[in-house]
Chain A
Amino acid sequence: MKPPPFAYHDPSTLEEAISLLSTLPNARPLAGGQSMMPMLNMRFAQPDHLVDLNRIAGLDGVTVEPDGALTIGAMARQRVLEQHPEVARRCPLMVEALAQVGHRQTRNRGTIGGSLCHLDPAAELPLVAAAMEAVVRVAGPNGQRDIAFADFAQGYMTPEMEPEELLVAVRIPAQPAGAGHCFLEYARRHGDFAIASVAVMLVPDAVGRIAEARVALGGVGAVPLRLPEAEAALRGAPDVSRAVAATKTLEPMEDALVPAWYRRHLAGVLLGRALVIAQSRMGRA
């Protein structure tokens, strides 16, 4: 299990990286490498050119916008985010999720951008992005564009991006005041991709009623899903059982290891549990 032959490039600027990606045939970017390197070692990926993003300066910052949103550079390591005080303050959902992302050794290398672009349907960070209504910034030969994460997560492991484009940052609106959040997943072993996962955010109004509910589910569709019926059921006077029942319409993928019905069942169980926790964490606006 050794990587196939490729030519290696380690540009020091974003422009250079994009120009390499847009001029070289069959070129692939390399971020933290925690998904790409196994695919290379197994020769599932056979690029002619590998464009390593690790030497590009300034792609790994964490900044707080005037409106309180976080802008996180694509090359920010998962482990850095896990320990970052601003992330803890403004997006505790992400910190909760990161504890379940792989293992310490993979988080030391793995990046947020890599995870969002890899877009594994059961991965934690895309689910957080879906729940937080993140906006990703993509750069290409023709400049940069912002895409709502819901549009970015276009299909099974397929981000809405051209091969010569790179994800450069993700903007995560701050968790609203008083909001209660919860990230829960079920995996067979610690650090495995989840069989199903759920991210919940309950935003209260001034009197502590649920003004807005966000329910995102992972592992049960081709991409992280929002569950609008559940969200509707939770607004105002929350009807938890109706929200949970909304998972019954999910149509997860079947595979050799896990039957589809079980993923659907788990989604309901986890949602029920996550709502209890999120409600207990909710305050007032």
Chain B
Amino acid sequence: MSEDRSLARRVNCVVNGTAQAAEVSVRRTLADYLRQDLGLTGTHLGCEHGVCGACTVLVDGRAVRSCLMLAVQAEGCAVTTVEGIAPDVVTLHPLQTAFAKHHALQCGFCTPGMLTTLLEFLEEVPAPTAEEIRIVISGNLCRCTGYEPIVAATLEAAAVMRGGA
């Protein structure tokens, strides 16, 4: 690959707790980097113009749309994707458990973006109202569920998380 750092460069970041370094073209989006270079295909692309929220990941703890960031901009950042949410391979995060219980996912395509968005939110607002939840996921489109099961799941997960479960 080119020596010219303006066309391609090595990106170092920590993804789901693992240090990653890869040479990427400067125009590669963070979403494509995660999906194609790191094989973390849990982050989905639903619109690539910043409306659907399916591509949401946490960058340094903040929920952002990974279709609207370049991979090179993640240099030095800590990135969390949906693959990094569950504590281990057998246990699910309380939010994930509540999603399954409340049928908050059907096709599941929007789910990774919902989960990452809500994780940041619940960190900040541990005891949210239903209306606050609706507002926070209003930037995440879901064509299947009609959203209310997601709101119900989030309320329950928040309670579980507050309980320290």
Contact = CB atoms under 8 A, between A and B. Distances in A.
A joins B in a complex: yes
Contacts of B139: 102-106, 191
A110 to B, nearest CB: 9
A8 B48 contact: no
Interface in B27-71: 27, 29, 32, 48-50, 53, 56, 62-65, 67-70
A79 to B, nearest CB: 7
Contacts, number: 93
B138 A1 contact: no
A86 B120 CA distance: 24
Nearest to A3: B27
A9 B4 CA distance: 11
If over half of A's interface residues share one DSSP class (helix, strand or loop), that class is named, otherwise mixed; here it is loop
Interface residues of B, number: 30
A186 B143 CA distance: 24
Interface residues of A, number: 32
Interface in B61-95: 62-65, 67-70, 72-73
Contact of B64 (A52, A54, A108): A108
A37 B26 contact: no
Contacts of A41: 29, 48-49, 67-68
The interface centre, meaning the residue of B50, B53, B63, B72 with most chain A CB atoms within 10 A of its CB, is B50
28 contacts: A1-B48, A3-B27, A4-B27, A5-B27, A8-B6, A8-B70, A8-B72, A37-B68, A37-B69, A38-B49, A38-B50, A38-B68, A40-B27, A41-B48, A41-B49, A41-B67, A41-B68, A50-B26, A52-B72, A102-B139, A104-B120, A105-B64, A105-B117, A109-B62, A109-B64, A109-B69, A190-B135, A191-B139
**Closest 6 CB pairs between A and B?**
A103-B139, A8-B26, A7-B6, A37-B68, A38-B49, A1-B48
Interface of A: 1-10, 33-34, 37-38, 40-42, 49-50, 52, 54, 79, 102-106, 108-109, 189-191
